[in-house]
Structure 1
Amino acid sequence: MNIVDQLVQRDFLIAVLAAVSAAAVVFTFGSSFLGRRDMNDRIKRVALDRERMRAEEMARLRGNTNQDPRANIRRNAEAKSYMKRAVERFDLKKAFQDENTVDKLAMAGLRGQGALTTFLFQRFVTPIAVFAIAAVYLLVLAPGDRPTYINLVYAIGAGLLGAYLPLVLLKNKTQKRQASIRRAWPDCLDLMLLCVESGMSMEHAFKRVGKEIGSQSPELSEELTLTTAELSFLEDRTRAYDNLGRRTGLDNVKAVMTALIQADRYGTSVGQALRVMAEEGREARMMEAEKKAASLPPKLTVPLIVFLLPVLFIVILSPAMIKVFTGSVASTIGGG
């Protein structure tokens, strides 16, 4: 019997098919076990990385690490004991604190109970101090010819204006902080997109971008570091994203955080969401630059009229005026 006849026999074909089927079953079950083992190893690595990041963030929050000073979170100083006693004795929280006070302080980079107590104490003390200084100046140092009650009214008016001084300072600090974050946010999105597309998780992406963006905007680096810590601590990731948008108070940051929340909730692509938001951020920055360029000519009109045109008229008219005056003087002398 030759080989061809043996290959076409029914018993041989059944044996070959049975062997192939058995091998396929063994390979299928073996690959599933191997894949499960790889998945378990990957889950263990992610858990270990998460614990390591949590330990690093806890150490950074406590101020025990000095690896990157820009990335360390600035802890606000605790309020003095006399401030706490004044706030509690005069019930300043009921008088000055509303539902937006904590958010406004967070936008300015002031967090914690100490910052809140200091702010409430300043709102209480500042008008009294301004009134006392104005009264001493107007009634004692420079009373002038005005009646005493007029000087007292002026001092009271200065005290009322001083009541708004902490709010003005807080708003100024918030605007400076938001301006720094707004300038660095498009670059932050580009870096975050690169990190996510390279395979990093959101925790690692926030941590890496927070370190890299510190040289450009320490404020944004601080916020990203806080978000990294919250992603490690909080069970609900959406709370960490929402807290970042609330602390910054910027619409573009809130839009990106909303996109990340939706991607996390519905399982859509985080990279695609970041890519779209990064393109919108670049377009918004370009539109802002074009807006500033378009507003430049009207702003230059007044300086040109006030400073350049008079000098130009003097340069143009001076030779003619010198000739006219020289000729008139010469004719006067010749006639005389």
Structure 2
Amino acid sequence: MFDSVITLLSSPPVLIAIFLAIGVTLVLFTLLGRKDTIDPLQKLREQSRDINKPGIELGRRTDSTALTKRLDKFKSFLEPATGDEMDEARLQMIQAGYHGRSAVRDYHAIKFIMGVSGLLLGLGYMFAFPANEGASIVATIIPVMVPTLVGYYLPIYWVSKRRAERQKQITGGFPDSLDMLLICTEAGQSMDQSINRVAKELKAGYPALAEEFETVSHQVKAGSDRLKVLKDMGERCGNPDIRSFVTVLIQSATYGTSVADALRVYAAEMRDKRVMLAEEKANVLPTKLTLGTMMFTVPPLLIILIGPSVHGVITMLATADFSL
């Protein structure tokens, strides 16, 4: 038993995995064990400057926990280096529904922590159930690499899935929101009041779209330009229909036409587009059902129709006398 453990520990894959785990553990202890050595007066000056900054997120909760303060020290390690990459990563997190200022940092921290946890889990499995002496290097590394990769890519899959579901929900609810905007505008309400009303009405059916309209309402109340806020909404949602809607509003404001008329035309186009998408899915459905019909309908039908004849032929051949 002792010789088998020594042989296992001296194998190259196990040595590589051990050194990798030790290195990751040392990095974690180094990161989590650093103390805040900033001068208290300097920290007070930074806090006073932060109060005057207009970067407060409207309608968002910005609780400052001990973990958040500790992760603030490692922004250079957990966040992209360039500003363009940071903006792109922040936009992806916003499109997935995570609007916090530390969303990108938390996302990369979770990927790192889950990857290391998967690595440690794989090493524990390797020592608990050692591989055979004649096993290949691939068979030895797989129990370590699989949980590591799963732990690393699971947050990526989760964020991508949430982003796709949120964009699908926004796309599905946007025609209804246009109809509500048209009704509110024709009833005599202003565009700001209409947006606020639509945000309240859409919470039950389309919470993601209602959240975006509510953000627009808060930003407009804070003094931001409505058209710029709507442009930002189109970029956050990643929906070309919303960008076209903003373009319609800009043209209406530029040429002095009625907003209600522009909304009526655009809402009719969106309804026609939704009907065309539904018809497209309905036309594709028979093609998708063909394979299932062939697999689950034709074989039982052949068995029912041809089965008795085949059974009769087999019985006749078994009982026939070929001695003549």
Query: Structure 1-normalised TM-score?
Result: 0.69
Residue number in structure 1 paired with 2:235:
246
- Relative to structure 1, the CA distance from residue 141 to residue 239 in structure 2 (aligned partners, 3 Å threshold; closer, same or farther) is farther
Give the alignment partner of residue 151 of structure 1, picking from 136, 140, 143: 140
Shift of 1:121: 1.3
Find the residue that maps to 1:175 and give its secondary structure.
helix
Shift of 1:313: 0.8
Give the alignment partner of residue 262 of structure 2, picking from 251, 261, 273: 273
Find the residue that maps to 1:214 and give its secondary structure.
coil
CA distance in 2 between partners of 1:252 and 1:162 (Å): 36
Matches for 1:312-327 after TM superposition, within 5 Å: 312-327=301-316
Would you say 1:89 and 2:77 are equivalent positions?
no
Give the alignment partner of residue 213 of structure 1, picking from 202, 225, 234: 202
Would you say 1:112 and 2:86 are equivalent positions?
no
Once the two structures are superposed, what CA deviation does each residue of 1:191-233 show, in whole Å capped at 9, x if it has no partner?
1111111211011111111222222211111111111111211
Shift of 1:278: 1.0
Between 101-110 and 320-329, the greater mean CA deviation after superposition: 320-329
Does the CA-based 8 Å contact 2:115-2:150 persist in structure 1? yes
Does the CA-based 8 Å contact 2:125-2:143 persist in structure 1? no
Task: State the aligned residue count.
Answer: 264
Query: Structure 2-normalised TM-score?
Result: 0.71
Does the CA-based 8 Å contact 2:75-2:105 persist in structure 1? no
Larger Rg: 1
Give the alignment partner of residue 167 of structure 1, picking from 156, 159, 175: 156
Residue number in structure 2 paired with 1:3:
none
- Relative to structure 1, the CA distance from residue 299 to residue 84 in structure 2 (aligned partners, 3 Å threshold; closer, same or farther) is farther
Q: CA RMSD in A?
A: 3.0
Matches for 1:168-183 after TM superposition, within 5 Å: 168-183=157-172
Does the CA-based 8 Å contact 1:241-1:260 persist in structure 2? no
Unaligned runs of 5+ in 2: 1-56
Give the alignment partner of residue 291 of structure 1, picking from 261, 264, 280: 280
Shift of 1:330: 5.6
- Relative to structure 1, the CA distance from residue 234 to residue 138 in structure 2 (aligned partners, 3 Å threshold; closer, same or farther) is farther
Return the letter of the residue paired with 2:107: F
Shift of 1:158: 5.2
Return the letter of the residue paired with 2:118: V
Shift of 1:110: 0.8
Find the residue that maps to 1:99 and give its secondary structure.
helix
- Relative to structure 1, the CA distance from residue 89 to residue 216 in structure 2 (aligned partners, 3 Å threshold; closer, same or farther) is closer
Does the CA-based 8 Å contact 2:90-2:103 persist in structure 1? no
Unaligned runs of 5+ in 1: 1-60, 63-72
Find the residue that maps to 2:202 and give its secondary structure.
helix
Between 145-154 and 253-262, the greater mean CA deviation after superposition: 145-154
